[in-house]
Amino acid sequence: MTDQSPVDRRNLDFLLHEVQDAGVLCRYPRFAEHSRETFDAVLDAAQDLADATFAGHNRASDEHEPRFVDGGVQIIPQVKAALDAFAQAGFTAMLADAEEGGMQLPYTVGLACDAMFVASNVSTSGYTMLARGVANLLQAHGTPEQCARYRAPILQGRFLGTMCLSEPQAGSSLGDIRTRAEPADDGSYRLSGAKMWISGGEHELSENIIHLVLARLPDAPPGVKGISLFIVPKLRVNDDGSLGARNDVQLAGVNHKLGQRGIVNTFLKFGERGECFAELVGQPHQGLAQMFHMMNEARIGVGLGAIMLGTAGYRYSLRYARERKQGRHPDQKDPASPPVAIIEHADVRRMLLQQKSYTEGALGLAMHAATLVDVQAQDADPARRREAHLLLELLTPVIKAWSADWCLKANDLAIQVLGGYGYTREYPVEQYWRDNRLNPIHEGANGIQGLDLLGRKVMMDGGAALKLLLRDVAATASAAGGVPALTEHAIALSHCAATVARTTGVLGAAMARGEVRLALSNASRYLGMVGHLAIAWSWLRQALVAARAAPATAADADFYAGKLAACRWFFVHELPTTELDAQLLGALDATVLDTPPESL
């Protein structure tokens, strides 16, 4: 492997074309102008850009984090250069309509492009992901005037944006936010309050920053049903699109993070020193629903970030393990024999296999979810759109939380492969690990994802979403059952699916009879179990393709053999824990609930 890129393009192509068959998406009218060739050309461009402008300053933006100076934020110039290049190459608008100047790409291909940028520099990519999120939200819920004023400049790369949800006293608990919006005579609003953990909240990277802010109207009911969504520009935008006066959004502080240091994280105050102008988006009290409309993609984005940081670490440690020579086999007693490459040591190879199984398994699942986003949005058949929607609702918390947990573990293993070198800042793997530690926390901490999955997603519509997943899992198991190399895995997957179905039934029954706290008390473990099922399924899908492939080259043969090996690792070494999960969950284990807080 001479390839120094943090992304395995061969694997991206495999998932996109051989597993997801992304070319089929071109049958949808929206993508009719596209083809496999145009997809590949976009991916080539993304890869070139990621290598040329994103990867190079990944360490520098960690070492020289944004600084709070004279009320503003100083950021190393490479970040702006990369963002400008990104926008100029059209990637901010890659999903947007052609008539808006967009590439009108499927989300599936967009995710593959994002994968390259995120692997190269998760912090700088963060600005682009936030900007696109704001643009998407405005398209979905804003007026044409709001889109013209705020969305269009984002797509052109002139404006960036933020999502302002959390407050110092209310991180995951959005029902408790206190930021207030008072109607003004001109139909706009005046905001007052404070927002915490705002990525990209202040900088000079763009002409303007468009904050999307959750706040309460004076007549708002308490809790999540009283939250409205507002546009708050850093600088007012005049009717002709020119920039006006500075709005009252004050930078109150910069958070100093463990990782992802390149993207400034801020504490913002609204309306403290003057008037903070805001525009309502859509109807009052619909803010949370509007925000959650975007949440699946945002959470898949977090999962993707975790996966690609895991991938970058895997790729680096793999290269290191091939080159570094040290030690001998345990039965190789002659001290004068030459040392072997450390990849020859079983324990090192084990750590590489683990990393591969987590990151490539999860990437396969994330790519599948991306295709569901496209189907949900584009399919002519309402039943297929509905199915895609339900599956996405179910898979999103899994992709977010499982990927964050296990791809962080992958980064831990990458450090271990490098040993003492991995513990130094002279090598990149420690930064990947630090950067990845955010992913189990943001966009809803993983504990919240477990509650979302077990408390809502698998129970909604009489368990319709889980039934669909189990149907798809069964189809894969059935296909793999006929392939001798995969028969055992097919049986194991079917068995695990039945275990998940049975366990979910027990938990659902407990909730139905009112034992809600008990049933949900092990929700994180439940998410882990469903996640393992979903990743095993992802692996069996990949292994099916690999087992049937006719490799054209020796490199291809190695590639497919690696897929089969990592699949085997996951089925043999990882999936069996689901049995233990099911035993505990099915028994409604009350160890946690029975522990009095004061005894800790």
3-state secondary structure of 341: strand
Look-up of token digits 């949800």? 165
Site for a copy of itself in 380-419 (CB under 8 A): 408, 412, 415-416, 419
Pick between residue 380 and residue 600 the one whose CB is nearest to a copy of itself: 600
Look-up of token digits 């899992």? 473
Active site residue 443: yes
Pick between residue 102 and residue 562 the one whose CB is nearest to a copy of itself: 562
Closest distance to a copy of itself from the beta carbon of 96 (Å): 31
Closest distance to a copy of itself from the beta carbon of 430 (Å): 4
Q: Which amino acid is at 551?
A: P
Distance in angstroms (rounded) separating the CA atoms of residues 119 and 310: 9
Q: If binding is defined by CB under 8 A, does position 144 make contact with a copy of itself?
A: no
3-state secondary structure of 237: strand
Q: If binding is defined by CB under 8 A, does position 589 make contact with a copy of itself?
A: yes
User: How distant, in Å, are the alpha carbons of 467, 472, 482, 545, 562 from that of 479?
Assistant: 18, 11, 6, 11, 20
Q: What angle do CA 430, 8, 391 make, to 5 degrees?
A: 95
Residue 2 CB-density burial (10 A; 0-12 exposed, 13-18 middle, 19+ buried): exposed
User: How distant, in Å, are the alpha carbons of 43, 148, 439, 583 from that of 100?
Assistant: 21, 10, 32, 54
Which of 69, 331, 382, 462 is in the footprint of a copy of itself by CB under 8 A? 331
Q: If binding is defined by CB under 8 A, does position 322 make contact with a copy of itself?
A: yes
Q: If binding is defined by CB under 8 A, does position 491 make contact with a copy of itself?
A: no
Which of 72, 77, 223, 482 is in the footprint of a copy of itself by CB under 8 A? 223
Sign of the Cα torsion 116, 400, 372, 29 reads negative
Site for a copy of itself in 239-258 (CB under 8 A): 255-258
Site string for a copy of itself, 333-362 (x = CB under 8 A): --xx--x-x-xxxxxxxxxxx--x------
CB within 8 Å of 68: residues ≥ 6 apart: 251, 253, 254
Look-up of token digits 């809803």? 444
Pick between residue 140 and residue 258 the one whose CB is nearest to a copy of itself: 258
Number of Cβ within a 10 Å radius of residue 222: 9
Closest distance to a copy of itself from the beta carbon of 516 (Å): 4
Pick between residue 46 and residue 401 the one whose CB is nearest to a copy of itself: 401
Q: If binding is defined by CB under 8 A, does position 487 make contact with a copy of itself?
A: no
Number of Cβ within a 10 Å radius of residue 509: 12
Distance in angstroms (rounded) separating the CA atoms of residues 477 and 491: 7
Q: If binding is defined by CB under 8 A, does position 594 make contact with a copy of itself?
A: yes
Q: If binding is defined by CB under 8 A, does position 425 make contact with a copy of itself?
A: yes
Pick between residue 498 and residue 572 the one whose CB is nearest to a copy of itself: 572
Q: If binding is defined by CB under 8 A, does position 597 make contact with a copy of itself?
A: yes
Among residues 279, 443, 488, 579, which one is catalytic?
443
- Stretch (H or E) spanning 67: strand 67-69
Closest distance to a copy of itself from the beta carbon of 99 (Å): 39
Closest distance to a copy of itself from the beta carbon of 224 (Å): 7
Pick between residue 200 and residue 422 the one whose CB is nearest to a copy of itself: 422
Site string for a copy of itself, 506-535 (x = CB under 8 A): --------x-xx--xxxxx-----------
Catalytically active residues, by annotation? 443
